[in-house]
């Protein structure tokens, strides 16, 4: 969604228009759900958190200032909730992929390459899930929430260099995983 | 420029300044290590982007929307200026009530009530003790304002708590035969 459309959407939300709520949910539920899910790795918890995210967006819509992108503002809220949630629930074993309803990825017709691709994706997903929490957090905030390293450092209360070095470790580990499956 | 993978990462995300960007670009052209790192980074993120996306059911988004409508309605009722209006009215009312106690002495420009002991200092003012006795509650209110005005405590809450203690002592004194 472009900037002027978002501005209009925010104004309509601030005026309490119900149609604007529909538009908000339809446009952003996918993006926010994906972000939360990558953190939490549990469908039901992610759904609860998504609902809470939208509630917060509505409650705080009047305090939204047009400094940053509306998307990043929402992503911050979602990521914040997801991080708080993970902090409060002591890490539980990751049992996620099987129960997830997913859209098939497109484009690959060859069954062999399709299989390889699926395997790579699933391994990457598992590799991300198995990163140390601090690295995973930075990786997801950058990749899924689209926050800059400056924003991430503010969000986590660490220096930019710390955030970058966590990202670096994460990337190195993930690259190793990828190289193992596609030599 | 040294080989700094962190810089390459920032470059990849377009978070480098103009000058830095140029430096990294030219470094990438001559350094196979950083080049390899950069291409691996691209690979990694392309693969990550191709991941299957979790999908929400229509039913679920309907549920969210209904909750949000409710929230909007609640906000509208809260947002109505009634609350502010009521607070303003309450302040005005209490001011009117306590006005006789807030008469200012022209010379000292201090409120006219007898003794307030605070921070080890005793302040003595002229005032009608009988009226104060009758209006113990109002006295308290006046004192709060007095405290806020003359002692400018950093935290309002703290000043209230300490004032409550002082007010108790103050009222005990009022009861004593001295007055
Ligand atoms: Zn280099």
CB contact A174 to B (< 8 Å): yes
Share of chain B above pLDDT 90, in %: 23
Q: Where are the domains of chain A?
A: 1-91, 110-183
pLDDT tens sequence across B151-160: 444 444 454 4
**Beta-carbon separation of B55 and A102 below 8 A:** yes
Least confident of B38-42, B97-101, B156-160, B172-176: B156-160
Same fold, A1-91 and A110-183: no
Residue pair B172/B117 in contact by the 8 Å Cβ criterion = no
Q: What is the mean pLDDT of residues A87-109?
A: 47
Would you state the pLDDT for residue B107? 39
Per CB-CB distance under 8 Å, the chain B contacts of A178 are: 40, 43-44, 47
Does domain A1-91 fall under CATH 3.40.640.10? My reply is no
How far is residue A181's CA from residue B43's CA, in Å, rounded to a whole number? Answer: 13
Position A68 pLDDT exceeds 50: yes
Q: What's the pLDDT band for B117 if we cut at 50, 70, 90?
A: very low
So what's the pLDDT on residue A95?
Answer: 42
> B126 or B64, which is more confident?
B64
- Nearest 5°: the CA angle B49, B38, A160 is 85
Q: Who's near B5: CB < 8 A, 6+ residues apart?
A: A168, A171, A172, B34, B37
Q: Mutate which of B3, B4, B6 to test chain A, going by most A C-beta atoms within 10 A?
A: B6
Q: What is the arithmetic mean of pLDDT over B115-122?
A: 45
Give burial (CB, 10 Å; 0-12/13-18/19+) of B25.
Answer: exposed
Best to test chain A binding among B24, B55, B68, B69 (most A CBs inside 10 Å):
B68
Q: What percent of chain A has pLDDT over 70?
A: 78
Cβ-Cβ contacts under 8 Å, A124 against chain B:
44, 47-48, 51
Higher-pLDDT residue of A179 and B8 is B8
CATH topology for the A110-183 domain: Arc Repressor Mutant, subunit A (1.10.10)
Report the predicted TM-score, pTM, of the whole model to 2 decimal places.
0.61
Tell which residue, A14, A17, A52, A13, has the closest CA to residue A32.
A52
What is the value of ipTM here, to two decimals?
Answer: 0.74
The predicted pLDDT at position B125 comes to 40
pLDDT at B59 (0 to 100): 86
């Amino acid at each position: 969604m472009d900037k002027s459309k978002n501005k209009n959407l925010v104004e309509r939300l601030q005026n309490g228009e119900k149609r604007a709520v529909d538009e908000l949910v339809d446009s952003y539920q996918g993006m926010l759900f994906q972000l939360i899910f990558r953190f939490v790795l549990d469908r039901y918890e992610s759904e609860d958190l998504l609902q809470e995210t939208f509630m917060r967006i509505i409650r705080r819509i009047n305090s939204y200032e047009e400094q940053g992108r509306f998307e990043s503002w929402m992503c911050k809220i979602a990521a914040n909730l997801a991080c708080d949630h993970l902090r409060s629930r002591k890490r539980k074993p990751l049992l996620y992929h099987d129960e997830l309803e997913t859209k098939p990825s497109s484009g690959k017709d060859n069954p062999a390459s399709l299989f390889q691709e699926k395997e790579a994706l699933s391994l990457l997903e598992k590799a991300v899930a198995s990163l140390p929490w601090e690295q995973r957090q930075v990786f997801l905030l950058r990749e899924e929430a689209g926050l800059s390293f400056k924003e991430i450092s503010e969000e986590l209360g660490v220096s930019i260099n710390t955030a970058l070095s966590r990202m670096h470790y994460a990337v190195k580990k993930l690259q190793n995983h990828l190289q193992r499956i596609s030599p | 420029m040294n080989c700094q993978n962190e810089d390459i990462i920032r470059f990849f995300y377009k978070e480098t300044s103009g000058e830095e960007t140029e430096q990294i670009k030219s470094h990438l052209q001559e350094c196979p290590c950083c080049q390899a790192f950069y291409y691996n980074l691209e690979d990694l993120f392309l693969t990550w982007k191709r991941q299957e996306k979790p999908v929400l059911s229509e039913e679920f988004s309907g549920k969210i929307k209904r909750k949000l409508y409710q929230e909007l309605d609640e906000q509208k009722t809260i947002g109505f200026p009634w609350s502010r209006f009521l607070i303003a009215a309450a302040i005005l009312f209490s001011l009117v009530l306590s006005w006789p106690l807030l008469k200012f002495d022209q010379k000292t420009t201090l409120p006219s009530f007898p003794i307030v002991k605070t921070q080890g200092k005793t302040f003595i003012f002229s005032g009608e003790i009988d009226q104060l006795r009758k209006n113990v509650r109002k006295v308290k209110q006046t004192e709060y304002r007095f405290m806020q005005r003359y002692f400018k405590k950093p935290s309002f809450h703290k000043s209230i708590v300490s004032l409550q203690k002082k007010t108790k002592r103050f009222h005990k004194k009022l009861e004593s035969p001295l007055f």
